[in-house]
Amino acid sequence: MARAEQSLVADYNNPASLEGRAFIVLGAGQGIGRQTSHALAQAGARVFCVDRDAELASAIAEEVKGFAFVADVTSRADMERAFAEASSRFGDTPRGLVDIVGVADIHTIAETDDASWTRNFDLNARHAYLVIQIGARVMTKGGAMVFVSSTSGTHGIENEVGYGAAKAALNHLVHGAAHELGPQNIRVNAVTPGFVRTPRLLAALSEEFWASLKDHIPLGWAAEPSDVARAILFLASDMSAYVTGAVIPVDGGLSVGAPVPHIPFAPGMQARVGARP
C-alpha cells in the first residue's frame, strides 16, 4: 500500500504576484508596452516607464503610479542612465525588465539598403544586447527579463528578411543569455506575437485587412495588446519560475499552420499518402 506523500505543497494562491518588485519597461508608452505596464502594476510591481516620447512616458507613469523616464534604447549612455535612475528611484535593484521596443523596416532584399539593415538590427537586436549586458550588472538579486520578438524571427514572411533576421538574432540572444545568466538567477525569455492591434498597426492597416486575418489565424482574430501583456506577465512572474531561454508564440496559432492550398477531398473520401488509388 502506497504511503501518503509528505512533501511541502507549494503556494498556488497567487503565483502571478509581483508585490513590491521593481520592473523596468522599455517602450512603455503605448500598445503592448502600456498594457504590460498595467499588468505588472496590477500584480503589485513598481514600474519604471521608459519611452523616447516624453509625453507618452509621463502619461503611462501617471496611469500606473510609476516613474517616467525618456531615453533612446539604442544609446548605451541612455541605458546606463535609465538603469541607474531606476535603482535610485526604487531604492533597490530592479527585479525585472520587459523590453517591448521593436520596429519593422520592411523591404524586399533587392530594395534593402545599408541604412535599412542597420535600423532593423539597432531597433530589434543591438539594443537588446545593451539591455541584457547593463541589466545583468544591476539585477544583483536575480529576476526576469522578457523581450518581445516576432513570428518574423521564426518564419519567413514576405518583404521582412531584414526585420526577420534581426528578430531571429534577438531570439538567439535570448537563448544564449538565458544560459549565461542562469547562475545569477536571472531568467531570460521572449514572446513572438503575430498580428497585434497596436496603435501603429491600426493606423497602417485597413479594417478589411484585419477582418481577413480570420482565414489565417486558427483562433479567428488578431491579438489585442492585452493578450501579449498576459503572456509577458506569466514570464515575468513566479508562474514561470523554472522557465528560461523560451521563445513562446503568442499568435493565435498563426505560426503552426503550413501555407498549403485547400485540398478538395470529397465527403467520406479517404486519402492514403504515398499510395496509389
- What positions carry a catalytic annotation? 163
What's the distance, CA 184 to chain centroid? 22
In whole angstroms, give the CA distance from residue 149 to residue 165: 11
Instruction: Kindly tell me the burial class for residue 17, based on how many C-beta atoms sit within 10 Å of its own C-beta (0-12, 13-18, 19 or more).
Output: middle
Q: Are 218 and 256 in contact (CB under 8 A)?
A: yes
Compute the half-sphere exposure of residue 133: CA atoms within 13 Å on the CB side of its CA.
13
Tell me if 102 sits within 8 A of 73, measured CB to CB.
no
Buried b or exposed e, range 130-167, using 16+ CB within 10 angstroms: bbbebbbebbeeebbbbbbbbbbbbbebeebbbbbbbb
3-class secondary structure, 142: coil
Contact 193, 228 (CB under 8 A): yes
